[in-house]
Amino acid sequence: MAYRPEPAFAHDRARKVGVLIVNLGTPDAPTPAAVRRYLGEFLTDPRVVEIPSFAWRPLLHGVVLRTRPAKSAARYASIWSKDGSPLAVHTNKQKVLLSGYVGQRMKAQGLDPEGVVVEQAMRYGEPAIGPAIERLRAASCEQILVVPLYPQYAASTTGSVVDAVAAHLTSMRRVPALRIVDTFHDDPGYIAGCAAAINDHWMRHGRADHLVLSFHGLPRRSLARGDPYHCYCHASARLIARELGLEPVQWTLAFQSRFGRSRWLEPYTANVLAKLGAQRLRRVDVFAPGFVADCLETLEELAIEGKRTYQAAGGGDYDVIACLNEHPRWIAALADLVFANLGGWLAAAPDRAAREATKLRAKALGATS
């Protein structure tokens, strides 16, 4: 096979470590055409739709991609900001902040603050994973840490990112050393960050009568087939509730975003909200621990549709707490997660650079003697 061209190699160029954070993705615009392109890529991923292609493709192209884009585009338009897709905006800010945190910590440890290069990509849409890897390689990164921004591992999310990274590596002659964070559902920093985001909201608005921790749903069969996602969501929810000091009666775990007629992970968020609304509670708060950045599922599905469901059942006030986004506790936790997974790589980098500098000095001295 023909490999893609390699970046120009220079012996005196210090090698660096790359960090690639990856989120799900978003359409380029809140239009039916853009949403159709996005869904076409998303829904043809066999990790996402585990239906044989010969049975799924006719339904996808004959029905789903003809009817769903216009409806989804209207939903995206309701949450689109002047800067674009909220998910894209927040993910880019997370990249910038993480790069700053990492550089400061490198400097504090006596390492080259420019020795780690941070990039971001989307599994579907732009910026794509392949070009992001190429940008890291062009920056002299021979070791790359991939951090899928899904706290709870699922084959359809983190597993799909691994597939995309591996597919791109097959086109490379010089394959970089690779590490992948598969899950951080019980990471202390992530748990503390979630609790801090919720507490910050409560400090401003008071504590709600009940807290719903809503995770993205998956088909029930994923659990039966051995996917750990369901268990990881329960573990995260328990740890967050414990960090907040909540009793079991004060919070509920639920799963949102059900699609199709098959049974999905339960309880469904919509059913939980309707039940809480029927109890005539003064206020319910909802937080989505599985999303590290606000997106369609939090800003439209939970904030708009969820509120409608809850209040139609008789509920009172309803708040959706902002995702982790650029919360300082989360960015610090993300930096901790990165450094915990770079063990050995950072220690070796300055030694190699020092050896190269010594060779250059010796060469220069020899030329002038």
**Residue 113 near residue 103, CB atoms below 8 Å:** yes
Residue 13 vs residue 330, higher pLDDT: 330
pLDDT digits (tens, 9 = 90+) for 54-93: 999 999 999 999 999 999 999 999 999 999 999 999 999 9
Write down the number of H helices and E strands in the chain: 14, 8
The total of other beta-carbon atoms located within 10 Å of residue 342's CB is: 18
> d(Cα 75, Cα 301) in Å, to the nearest integer?
9
Check residue 7 and give its pLDDT: 75
Check residue 5 and give its pLDDT: 81
Residue 294 DSSP SS3: coil
pLDDT digits (tens, 9 = 90+) for 28-52: 999 999 999 999 999 999 999 999 9
**What does the mean pLDDT of the chain come to?**
92
Asked if residue 141 has pLDDT above 90, the reply is yes
Least confident range of 25-39, 201-215, 346-360: 346-360
E strand or H helix that includes residue 24: strand 16-25
Phi and psi torsions of 211, nearest 5°: -115, 130
Asked if residue 129 has pLDDT above 80, the reply is yes
**Residue 323 near residue 292, CB atoms below 8 Å:** yes
CA 360 to mean position of chain CA atoms: 42
pLDDT digits (tens, 9 = 90+) for 235-284: 999 999 999 999 999 999 999 988 877 899 999 999 999 999 999 999 99
Quote the tokens at residue 47: 């990790």
Check residue 15 and give its pLDDT: 84
pLDDT digits (tens, 9 = 90+) for 300-352: 999 999 999 999 999 999 999 999 999 999 999 999 999 999 988 985 444 55
What is the layout of strands, in order, in the sheet containing 283-287? 251-256, 210-216, 283-287, 317-320
Residue 118 vs residue 258, higher pLDDT: 118
Provide the whole-model pTM. 0.91
> d(Cα 210, Cα 233) in Å, to the nearest integer?
19
Least confident range of 6-10, 115-119, 174-178, 312-316: 6-10
> d(Cα 265, Cα 10) in Å, to the nearest integer?
52
Percent share of the chain, pLDDT over 90: 86
* Residues 143-169, mean pLDDT to the nearest whole number: 98
Check residue 368 and give its pLDDT: 47
> d(Cα 327, Cα 18) in Å, to the nearest integer?
23
Check residue 344 and give its pLDDT: 87
Check residue 359 and give its pLDDT: 56
Asked if residue 189 has pLDDT above 80, the reply is yes
* Residues 10-26, mean pLDDT to the nearest whole number: 88
Closest CA to 239 of 298, 320, 293, 185: 185
